[in-house]
Amino acid sequence: MAEITGSSIAPRQGGLFAEAEGAGPGWAALSDPAARLASFAKDPDTPSKARHDAEGVLRLFAQRLDFLDRRARLEPLAVEPLGMLLLVPAASVAKAGA
């Protein structure tokens, strides 16, 4: 994610009532990576290639979470018939062997 959005930027505040210095885009101050990337993907000031890359990463992340969620759920197994069982009488086997 850092390759797409860069490192996290926390705005600096000089004093108690002073304005924050160097306040960049709103997504730059977010600490949650998924929220930061989603906000980055929706920022119209970012280049379209970077927004597209961020959307792709978020889509893959959502697919992976869905896959892991489905895998974690245990579902009852379905019984599938494999065919008919053929039983040969013991007398037939004895005649064939003699």
> pLDDT of 10-53, one tens digit each?
555 566 666 655 556 777 777 788 888 888 888 888 888 988 99
Least confident of 4-18, 61-75, 82-96: 4-18
Angle separating helix axes 33-42 and 48-72, nearest 10 degrees: 140
* % of the chain surpassing 70 pLDDT: 68
Q: Is residue 87 part of a domain?
A: no
Q: What is the pTM of this model?
A: 0.54
Q: Is residue 17 part of a domain?
A: no
Q: How many domains does the chain have?
A: 1
Res. 68 pLDDT band, cuts 50 70 90: very high
Q: Is residue 88 part of a domain?
A: no
Q: Is residue 18 part of a domain?
A: no
Contact predicate 5/37, CB 8 Å: yes
Q: Is residue 56 part of a domain?
A: yes
Q: Is residue 92 part of a domain?
A: no
Q: Is residue 98 part of a domain?
A: no
Helix H or strand E segment including 64: helix 48-72
Q: In which domain, by residue range, is 69 found? A: 32-73
